[in-house]
Amino acid sequence: MLKKPKISLRGLRTFCVAARYESFRTASDELFITASAVSHQIKSLEEELGEQLFDRTGRETSLTETGRLLYKEASPLIEQLDAIVAQYKKGAISSSIRISVQPFFASEYFVPRLSDFTAEHPEIDIQVGTSDESSEKHPPDADLSIRLFRSPPSDMPSNLLFPLRMVPAGSPDFKKAMIVKKKTIVSDFPIIVHETRPKAWKKWAKASGIHLPKDAKVTRLDSMIAVIRAAERGIGAAMVPVPMADLWFKQGSIVRLFKQELVADVSYYLVCKEDRAGNASVRLLRDWILQNFADPT
C-alpha cells in the first residue's frame, strides 16, 4: 500500500498568505520572513504536489488555476486550525489583519482610537497602511480599507461610514481680522487649497451663499496635514474635514470661520476583501469600526 505524501503545514500556511495577496513580498512582511524564504517554501510545496501554484512570468506573481482551487479549499482550514491553536496558546498572535486607511483619517481619527480594539483583542495583529487620499480603490494587499468613494465597489462587501463634510477654518487671529458684510467677505482672505479637492471652496461658496473675494491669494498643498498646519500658522483659510479635524478645534489652534458646512459628493466606506469577509478576526474589526465610526443617522 502506497503511503500518502505528507504536505508541509508551514508551506501550506505560507502559500495561503501569499495567495491572499498574490505577492511574495507582502506575505514576507506578514510572516516576518524574507521574500526568498516565502518563494522557497512555496517551491517546495509545488514539488511535493507536482503542480505549479503560481505563475511567475514577468514582474507580476499570480495564481494558476490549481493555485486558486487550493487556496479556496485550504485557506478556511488553515484559519480554523489557527483559531483552535489560539485557544490553547494564550497571548499568541492568532491572526494578522492589514487595513489601509487614508492618511488624514488614519492619523487624526482612526489610529488614536485603535488602542481600544487592540486592548480588547491582543491576539489580533493589526497592520495599518496609509495611501493616496485621492484614489477610489481598495488596495489589493489590504484585507480592509477605509477610503473615499462616490459609490462603493460592487464586487466587495462594503459599509457606509459617513459622507465627507468640510468646513472653513483658520487661526483665531485670522478669524478676528475677517470682515463679512451682507454675506460677502470684504477683508483680506487668502485661501489654502488641498489639491485633491481643488473646487471645494467654490462649491462651499455656492452652497452657503457667502461670496469670496475675487482676487484672493491661493496657496496649494498636497496633503491635508500640511493644509491644516498652514491654516494654524495664519497663512490663510482652509477647508478642513469634520469630524477628523475636531481635535484641532478642541485644542484651539484652528477655529471654524463659518457654521455652514460643505457635504461633498464622496463618502467614507469600510471595504472588505471578499475572501476575508468570513474570517473571525476580520469580522471583529469590522464590527468595531462600524460601532465606533459609522454615522448612526
Please check whether the domain covering 95-161+267-293 is classified as CATH 3.40.190.10: yes
Report which residue type is found at 258. F
Helix (H, G, I), strand (E, B) or coil at 52: coil
The pLDDT score that the predictor gives to residue 296 is 66
- Tell me what the pLDDT averaged over the chain comes to: 87
Q: Mean pLDDT across the stretch 4-22?
A: 79
Per DSSP (E only), the strands in the chain are 54-55, 62-63, 95-101, 124-129, 144-149, 158-170, 180-181, 184-185, 191-194, 218-221, 237-242, 255-256, 262-272
79: confidence class by pLDDT, cuts 50, 70, 90: confident
Q: Over the Cα atoms of the chain, what is R_g?
A: 24
**Right CATH for 9-88 from 3.40.50.11260, 1.10.260.40, 1.10.10.10, 3.40.1160.10:** 1.10.10.10
| Every domain of the chain and the residues it spans | 9-88, 95-161+267-293, 164-264
6: confidence class by pLDDT, cuts 50, 70, 90: low
CB 256, CB 168: distance < 8 Å = yes
pLDDT tens digits, residue range 202-257?
999 999 999 999 889 999 998 898 999 999 999 999 999 999 999 899 999 999 99
Answer whether 9-88 and 95-161+267-293 agree in fold.
no
- Give the pairing type, strands 124-129 and 95-101: parallel
CB 271, CB 157: distance < 8 Å = yes
pLDDT tens digits, residue range 118-162?
999 888 889 888 776 556 788 887 899 999 999 888 889 999 999
The pLDDT score that the predictor gives to residue 236 is 96
Please name the fold of domain 164-264: D-Maltodextrin-Binding Protein; domain 2 (3.40.190)
Evaluate if residue 93 carries a pLDDT over 70: no
Write down the pTM of the prediction.
Answer: 0.67
